[in-house]
Amino acid sequence: MTTRTPGHGSQDLGEQLLRVARGLRRAWMVDLSEHDLSPHEARALRVAADRAESPRLRDLADALRIAPRSVTDVVDALEAKGYVVRQPDPGDRRASVVVVTDEGQAVRAAVHDARRRTMGDQMGALSAAQHDALADALTTLEESLERPPSASP
């Protein structure tokens, strides 16, 4: 059990946040292993499944913020598992789109449900007030990450 001391410095809180994030990632990896997915594959499957139109490989790479070569490897792995197929882009037959199969949709839903359960289990350790405070703090941190860093004088 971690001992709480008043007045944590921002570096201590940062380290604590990273430890919690690593713990949550380990729990997430267990959920993914049950579906034979890596985190990159799960993210790619989610992005492709959640799009109104099947994405091109380049669009998928951009959405995942990874190199086009890397997205090719991820899509290859998903295709080998039967979760996606590549089809010619109806608007440009030189390009291809990533289409999620019915099996891929089912796995995506199962992974989503597992993640919600795991996160619910973890967040269940918080009181309502702690939950609200954490939500506010994380929102503030996310917003600060979206702003460009201020120039140093």
The overall average pLDDT reported for the chain is 88
pLDDT at res. 55: 95
Note whether residue 153 is domain-resident. no
Note whether residue 42 is domain-resident. yes
**Burial class of residue 115 (count of CB atoms within 10 Å of its CB; 0-12, 13-18, 19+):** middle
pLDDT at res. 153: 47
Note whether residue 132 is domain-resident. no
Share of the chain above pLDDT 70, in %: 90
pLDDT at res. 8: 56
pLDDT at res. 28: 87
Note whether residue 145 is domain-resident. no
Least-confidence region, from 14-18, 51-55, 82-86, 108-112: 14-18
Note whether residue 25 is domain-resident. yes
pLDDT at res. 63: 94
pLDDT at res. 121: 85
pLDDT at res. 152: 47
**Backbone phi, then psi, for 45, in 5-degree steps?**
-65, -45
Q: How many CB atoms lie within 10 A of CB 43?
A: 17
Note whether residue 149 is domain-resident. no
Note whether residue 134 is domain-resident. no
Question: What stretch of H or E contains 93?
Answer: strand 92-100
Can you tell me the mean pLDDT for 122-141? Answer: 91
* Domain CATH for 55: 1.10.10.10
pLDDT at res. 150: 64
Q: List CB contacts of 37: < 8 A, sequence separation 6 or more.
A: 45, 107, 111
Structure tokens at 6: 């008043």
Residue span of the structural domain in which 118 resides? 21-124
Note whether residue 14 is domain-resident. no
Give the total number of structural domains in the chain.
1
Share of the chain above pLDDT 90, in %: 54
Structure tokens at 12: 């201590």
Query: CA–CA separation, 105 vs 31, rounded Å?
Result: 16
